[in-house]
Structure 1
Amino acid sequence: MSILTGIEATGTQSDPWPAPTAQRPVTAVVPVPGAKSGTNRALVLATLANGTSRLRGALRSRDTLLMAGVLRALGAEISTDGPDWIVRPAPTTRLAAGARAECGNAGTVARFTPALATLREGDVAFDGDARMRDRPLTPLLGALRRLGADIDGDRMPFTVRGRGRLPGGEVTVDASDSSQLVSGLLLAAPRYDAGVTVVHRGTRLPSGPYLDMTVADLRAAGAVVDVAPPGADGSRRWRVEPGELTAADRAIEPDMNSAAAFLAAALATGGRVVVPDWPEATEQPGRMLPTLLAAMGATTERTAAGLAVSGGGGIHGIDVDLGDFGEAAPVLTALAVLADSPSRLRGIGHLRLQETDRLVALAQELGSLGARITVTDDGLAIEPAPLRGARLDPRADHRLAMAYAVVGLVVPGIVIDDIATTGKTVPDFPRMWTAMLAG
């Protein structure tokens, strides 16, 4: 008997996509592609470096190709044809007339590149998908103005009128909606005349590990970065000194966020999934996945083959603050609707401002299966309930589409619209999912 129902074993992508139901526990080794967050940070730093850089294992996906496209518009030379990407900084600060930065719905692209545009001579018109016009950018653009930038507009579309330099200095920003607002100021800071001191003052700072990743990548490139301890009022402070960045040959880590759905498949089906090359130490927030999955009933272990996650003892509810790892919320919600006890996911109010309002979308779409999900002030509350098949819309959100596929392993009759949206971070997700099920 085939392990698959609802899809051909060849992994043909269709729209809508019938999510395959597992007929027995999944047992598979699943290599995952390079990290989007690592690839895009590496691309930005390579364009600021003192020579040619090589990125090994770079993720080739919609978001990273958008980043490469914007950096080319800013004058960099980037070859993405092979498995190793080659990056050469712009030979001159002067831009061609009519430069445009098309950011799609990629938050890292929209928030990491405006500071780079201030270091060029000429105007750069920034725009993106309709949803990007609603996502947080105003605090970043305001901060860049206070550091000496000339920018028309407070959100997309806007124009950066580059002068070939940015004075820099100290600036305060409220990054309560996205830590990328701080990373967008820090990454280009070694090229500011006076470097930069960024102070965050706000209700909280979500996704803190991504800022740790930004700091680690800057230091690896040769930047001098000082991070002050959190203030008593919750404020945070970073200082980046002006200086030269060093070109490098860099390997991109596997994307732990993208591994989440595949590892969750082991728990959902009572099987075992191994992800090779799981880093021993990393700044990626995905390092929290083994602990989170174990809390829901999985067994996790590091083996010579990689990180192994096994199920078989049922799926249990969880009560957890995901403020540092909101990217896990969709997959954990998928497991929670299959669990034998209630779950509460906290600290993720900022997910309302992602590719879509993830909290409302999860509650409404999974609610159409019969799931009982309540949107709270800072997250989701999930109660066990009988589930049935239905057609689900990921609302152009890659993480939601992958989460729905996890539920589809257990609940027959789930059909997912626009499965191609997974290409934002996981190229060829339907084929990879089918290959996992085939073992």
Structure 2
Amino acid sequence: MNTLVIGSGGREAAIVKALARSKHSNKIFILNGNDGVTEAECVTDIDMSDHQKIGEFARDNKVDWVFIGPEAPLSEGLTDTLEGDFRLKVFGPRKYEAQMESSKAFTKALMEKYDIPTATHKTFMSVEESKAYLKTTDFPIVLKKDGLAAGKGVIIAHTLEEALNGVDALQSENEELVIEEFLDGDEFSLMVFVNGDTFIPFSIIAQDHKRAYDGDKGPNTGGMGVYAPVDYIEQKFVDEAVEKIVKPTVDAMVSEGMNYFGVLYLGAIVTQDGVKTIEYNARLGDPEAQVLLDLMESDLLEVLMNLDEKKETKLSFRDEYVVGVMLASKNYPDTPELGNEVVIPESIQDDCVISALKRTDDNTFVTSGGRTVLVLGRGQTIEDAKTDAYKKVEQIEFENDAVFYRKDIGHRAF
């Protein structure tokens, strides 16, 4: 089978690697790819926003499956065009269904209507209303930009001043802002493959590290590291998330006339009142995909085909731990400083999932985005995997503070 992966980040590089392992895989294309992808033919002359040209390319190259990685093309209706105009098989929800990620207000309203556990919240359309409400609330409190923000549209405000500044940063007039209670507890990420009323939850969970600096300090990012599986969170809480959140959400989407086909990412938290929803995303997480797909033993293409036909399918994963440490460009997540040199020894390049590095020589790259590369460590224990990851990180050369990384990925597991 021929496949086309849409996206240029580390998540898409991991998807390509998983597809390449499939016994059903023939030719793999990736739009636009990056300099770390070696298993696919990179298509660089089509813009991701040109849906018609993408469809024409897929048709002309006899693509059997299109796998859309990032949230932006989903929210812009790429699936609608590829399915509607070109009759292609696409793994990734249509624009309407992608609102599960692209609109926090939409998803909150759905959860409220169907009594799905989440934080209490209010949605405001004006800056003045948001600020007036904040003057009546307790702290900490959470502000969420309604639309897409590359994982950086959330502010946890501990004081009124922080909250008011947060409104200015996240909300424009006539734009929705969700303000919700702060939930305290252990967070985890659960990926679920969904086709209408059928869903397949991953049998292992991951734990992302959103804050920029050690000790969960600093601004929110798209993710500074991740590990899986997460053993210290008991299985009963994962089961509770499936039964009380995922299944009711799938049923609610069907009741609302949605025909969801793709990944539904649940960001969940274990609170004193049970497991609750932090957020939903309409695609694989990044960097979660890099560790979860590394651990996956199931044939990804076969899983997609079975899901398409609503056949019963179980996902299998290697009995091992994987820790991923993200190297981010200087000044990320504000305005990353780009063009700095990073040298990755050939001996560890297979364990480095590149997202934003441009190759200038065999082992030499320059930074070309905020989050540059996720370094994977593996082991029979979480301790061994963490040690392995940081040993590899230490082999990467860069000048001064061209990139930075957290030193405590996986700390909650200890």
What is the TM-score normalised by the length of structure 1? 0.28
RCO higher in structure (CA 8 A, sep ≥6): 1
The higher radius of gyration belongs to 1
What is the TM-score normalised by the length of structure 2? 0.29
Higher strand share: 2
